[in-house]
């Protein structure tokens, strides 16, 4: 629907996956505009609002999820929308086109908020993103959420982090305004995109068990706790194959796969839905933002001894004009060396690498096995050693104590402590003159062996360059020369979120 609002899709009818006529042609009777008033599990019948009763042998609950809304006044005003149905998308597009809306406020910062912010900007609408958290897309780790925020701001989206909406009111000029704890935001339309909640009302009537996530509990055949009653889609839980726990993951692809499993089981065909990895991808202007498995935070919360790598690199052979930068983050378990998760952010093809990681997770592969995966190579499509394989090799080096990294967050904390490390910048003179970390020691990599005496031996040393490939080489040189406390800035300056000093 965001792509319809942004006029990428011209005809809203193309968003209708299956019409009633197509269902009827398959022998499936469709009742539209009928509200289910009650489900009687003992009599095994569904009672509709008009009094009609439908008996059943098997019942499938596919009641989806409802949009959540913050408990603030004014969300019922005209011009305030959610985006859970096609009529809402049509109304929003009409408000921009025929209504001439020029300012929009979005409450929330998840997938729908990101995609709709791009749609609004492509339509020339001044857009403000209001969120309680510090960074958008909370399902990503902070390093990459920060990059998403930069991409939003680069394209003119006004971000208001750490901001709580208090009310939506009529504005002085006839429009709307969002009242927050940090001021007021004028808008011609307001989109509330604060997530969804599983719709379990009918499940409650049936006495069907609901899990800790608030979604309906099911087994691997999508059966609920009540015989003959199944649940599929956003209303039910899914088993996470990495954390080994039940979770609520309202995604369209998951719903389709669960529906097929339930249908097979009902028809006597052996099938199971083995679970999910949380694989997801989102387009944010020029960035592909993708993930699978566990984030670093989720992995530690699940009890894993998690190690991480940040590996920025071009997504194609570096000499190809269409090569684009891609930042990959891998999460793996030190004990088993198994991959736990992957995240990708950047203008490069992140979906491809995350899909490879998803298959590695499905197979329970170690990073050693992933590093030797036989992937396709041609300069227009990938480097000779693909990004995901390079990331796996970096992880292997960390596990084998060849590569000792430090995150940007940890290094920033050290720079404010008494044990300040030496920041060794090994880029070229031209790179250093353009932008640099304040207080860094500059020695180009090619000169490092001849200038080792300039690097103090009585302090920790952190080596870096643009993406830390040369930083890693510098660390190996120092280690070979007897330096003991040497680390590499994970991801290099390209992933440094705290600002750099201009060379001007």
User: What is the tens place of the pLDDT at every residue in 93-143?
Assistant: 999 998 899 999 999 999 899 999 999 999 999 999 999 988 898 778 888
Q: Are 157 and 123 in contact (CB under 8 A)?
A: no
* Residues in CB range of 362: below 8 A, 6 or more apart: 241, 277
Find the helix or strand (DSSP H, E) in which 211 lies: none
- Supply the pLDDT for residue 419: 81
Mean pLDDT along residues 227-245: 96
10 Å Cβ neighbour count for 191? 27
- Supply the pLDDT for residue 179: 96
CA nearest neighbour of 392 among 400, 465, 294: 400
**pLDDT (tens digit, 9 = 90+) per residue, 416-447?**
888 899 999 999 999 999 999 999 999 999 99
- Supply the pLDDT for residue 144: 85
Q: How confident is the model at residue 79 (pLDDT cuts 50, 70, 90)?
A: very high
Mean pLDDT along residues 326-330: 96
Instruction: Look at residue 497 and tell me whether its pLDDT is greater than 90.
Output: no
Give backbone dihedrals phi and psi of 408, rounded to 5 degrees, phi first: -60, -40
| Averaged pLDDT of the chain | 94
CA nearest neighbour of 282 among 403, 137, 134, 479: 137
Instruction: Look at residue 174 and tell me whether its pLDDT is greater than 80.
Output: no
For strand 461-464 and strand 339-346, is the pairing parallel, antiparallel, or unpaired?
Answer: unpaired
Q: Are 196 and 187 in contact (CB under 8 A)?
A: no
d(CA 499, CA 192): 32
For the chain, percent of residues with pLDDT exceeding 90: 91
Mind listing the domains of the chain with CATH numbers? Answer: 38-61+203-276 (3.50.50.60), 80-196 (3.50.50.60), 280-399 (3.50.50.60), 405-502 (3.40.250.10)
Full strand arrangement of the beta sheet holding 441-442: 405-406, 486-489, 461-464, 422-425, 441-442
Q: Which range among 140-144, 145-149, 232-236 shows the weakest confidence by mean pLDDT?
A: 140-144
- Supply the pLDDT for residue 314: 96
- Supply the pLDDT for residue 118: 96
- Give, in order, the Cα–Cα distances in Å from 496 to each of 260, 364, 365: 44, 32, 30
10 Å Cβ neighbour count for 385? 14
Q: Which residue has 């209504």 as its token pair? A: 99
For the chain, percent of residues with pLDDT exceeding 70: 100
The sign of the dihedral angle between the CA atoms of 77, 118, 148, 196 is: positive
**pLDDT (tens digit, 9 = 90+) per residue, 7-60?**
999 999 999 989 999 999 999 999 999 999 999 999 999 999 999 999 999 999
- Supply the pLDDT for residue 504: 62
Instruction: Look at residue 322 and tell me whether its pLDDT is greater than 80.
Output: yes
d(CA 437, CA 12): 50
d(CA 163, CA 145): 17
Question: Known catalytic residues?
Answer: 465
Mean pLDDT along residues 343-366: 97
Instruction: Look at residue 487 and tell me whether its pLDDT is greater than 90.
Output: yes
**pLDDT (tens digit, 9 = 90+) per residue, 273-304?**
999 999 999 999 999 999 999 999 999 999 99
Mean pLDDT along residues 263-272: 96
Helices and strands (H, E) in the chain, number of each type = 14, 29
**pLDDT (tens digit, 9 = 90+) per residue, 393-414?**
999 999 999 999 999 989 999 9
For strand 183-187 and strand 176-180, is the pairing parallel, antiparallel, or unpaired?
Answer: antiparallel
């Amino acid at each position: 629907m965001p792509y319809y609002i942004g006029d990428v899709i011209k005809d809203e009818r193309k968003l209708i996956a299956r019409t009633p006529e197509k269902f009827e042609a398959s022998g499936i009777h469709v009742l539209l505009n009928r509200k289910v008033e009650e489900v009687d599990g003992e009599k095994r019948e569904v009672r509709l609002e008009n009094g009609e009763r439908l008996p059943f042998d098997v019942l499938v609950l596919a009641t989806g999820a409802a949009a959540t809304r913050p408990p603030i006044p004014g969300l019922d005003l005209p011009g305030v929308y959610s985006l859970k149905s096609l009529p809402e998308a049509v109304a929003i597009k009409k408000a921009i086109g025929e209504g001439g809306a020029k300012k929009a406020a979005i409450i929330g910062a998840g997938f729908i908020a990101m995609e709709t912010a791009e749609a609004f900007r492509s339509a020339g609408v001044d857009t403000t993103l209001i969120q309680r958290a510090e960074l958008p897309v909370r399902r990503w780790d902070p390093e990459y959420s920060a990059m998403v925020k930069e991409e939003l701001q680069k394209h003119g989206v006004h971000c208001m982090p750490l901001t709580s909406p208090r009310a939506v009111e009529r504005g002085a000029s006839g429009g709307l305004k969002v009242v927050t704890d940090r001021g007021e935001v004028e808008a011609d339309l307001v989109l509330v995109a604060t997530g969804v909640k599983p719709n379990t009302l009918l499940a409650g009537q049936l006495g069907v068990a609901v899990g800790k996530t608030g979604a309906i509990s099911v087994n691997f055949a999508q059966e609920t706790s009540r015989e003959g009653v199944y649940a599929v889609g956003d209303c039910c839980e899914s088993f996470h194959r990495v954390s080994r726990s039940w979770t609520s993951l309202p995604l369209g692809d998951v719903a389709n796969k669960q529906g097929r499993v339930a249908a097979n089981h009902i028809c006597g065909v052996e099938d199971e839905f083995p679970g999910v990895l949380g694989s997801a991808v989102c387009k944010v202007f020029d960035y592909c933002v993708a993930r699978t498995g566990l984030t670093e935070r989720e992995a530690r919360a699940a009890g894993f001894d998690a190690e991480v790598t940040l590996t920025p690199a071009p997504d194609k052979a570096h000499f190809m004009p269409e090569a684009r930068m891609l930042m990959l983050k891998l999460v793996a378990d030190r004990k088993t060396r198994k991959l736990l998760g992957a995240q990708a952010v950047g203008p490069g093809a992140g979906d491809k690498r995350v899909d490879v990681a998803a298959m590695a997770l499905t197979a329970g592969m170690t990073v050693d096995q992933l590093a030797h995966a036989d992937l396709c190579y041609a300069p227009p499509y990938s480097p000779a050693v693909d990004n995901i394989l390079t990331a796996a090799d970096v992880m292997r080096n960390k596990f084998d104590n060849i590569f000792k990294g430090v995150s940007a967050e940890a290094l920033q904390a050290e720079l404010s402590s008494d044990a300040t490390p030496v920041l060794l910048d090994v880029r070229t003179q031209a790179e250093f003159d353009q932008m640099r970390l304040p207080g860094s020691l500059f020695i180009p990599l090619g000169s490092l062996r001849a200038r080792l005496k300039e690097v103090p031996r009585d302090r920790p040393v952190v080596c870096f360059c643009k993406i830390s490939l040369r930083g890693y080489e510098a660390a190996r040189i120092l280690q070979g020369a007897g330096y003991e406390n040497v680390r590499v800035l994970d991801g290099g300056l390209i992933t440094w979120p705290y600002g750099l000093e201009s060379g001007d």
